[in-house]
Chain A
Amino acid sequence: DAKTTQPPSMDCAEGRAANLPCNHSTISGNEYVYWYRQIHSQGPQYIIHGLKNNETNEMASLIITEDRKSSTLILPHATLRDTAVYYCIVRGLSGGYNKLIFGAGTRLAVHP
Chain B
Amino acid sequence: ETGVTQSPTHLIKTRGQQVTLRCSSQSGHNTVSWYQQALGQGPQFIFQYYREEENGRGNFPPRFSGLQFPNYSSELNVNALELDDSALYLCASSLPRSPHPDYGYTFGSGTRLTVV
| Partner-B contacts on A (CB < 8 A) | 32, 34, 41-46, 49, 51, 85, 87, 91, 93-105
Q: Do residues A100 and B99 form an inter-chain contact, with CB atoms below 8 A? A: yes
Q: Do residues B104 and A99 form an inter-chain contact, with CB atoms below 8 A? A: no
Docked pose: A100 CA to B41 CA in angstroms: 14
Docked pose: A46 CA to B4 CA in angstroms: 13
Q: Do residues A44 and B56 form an inter-chain contact, with CB atoms below 8 A? A: no
Instruction: Point out which of B43, B44, B55, B58 has the most chain A C-beta atoms below 10 A from its C-beta.
Output: B43
- Cβ-based interface call for B72 (8 A): no
List B contacts of A97 (CB < 8 A). Answer: 48, 50, 55-56, 97
List B contacts of A100 (CB < 8 A). Answer: 33, 43, 45, 92, 99, 105
The smallest C-beta distance from B97 to any residue of chain A, in angstroms, reads 6
Q: Do residues B101 and A46 form an inter-chain contact, with CB atoms below 8 A? A: no
List B contacts of A46 (CB < 8 A). Answer: 104-106
Q: How many interface contacts (CB-CB < 8 Å) are there between A and B?
A: 67
Q: Do residues B45 and A44 form an inter-chain contact, with CB atoms below 8 A? A: no
User: Top 7 nearest A-B pairs by Cβ distance?
Assistant: A43-B107, A102-B42, A97-B56, A46-B104, A97-B55, A99-B45, A102-B43
Docked pose: A101 CA to B43 CA in angstroms: 8
30 contacts between A and B (CB under 8 A): A34-B99, A41-B109, A41-B110, A42-B110, A43-B4, A43-B107, A44-B43, A44-B107, A45-B107, A49-B99, A49-B104, A51-B101, A87-B42, A91-B99, A94-B56, A97-B55, A98-B94, A98-B99, A99-B45, A99-B56, A100-B43, A100-B45, A100-B99, A100-B105, A101-B45, A102-B43, A102-B44, A104-B41, A104-B42, A105-B42
List A contacts of B44 (CB < 8 A). Answer: 102
List A contacts of B105 (CB < 8 A). Answer: 44, 46, 100
The smallest C-beta distance from B91 to any residue of chain A, in angstroms, reads 8
List A contacts of B109 (CB < 8 A). Answer: 41-43
Docked pose: A45 CA to B16 CA in angstroms: 33
- Cβ-based interface call for B77 (8 A): no
- Cβ-based interface call for B108 (8 A): yes
Q: Do residues A98 and B98 form an inter-chain contact, with CB atoms below 8 A? A: yes
List B contacts of A32 (CB < 8 A). Answer: 99, 101
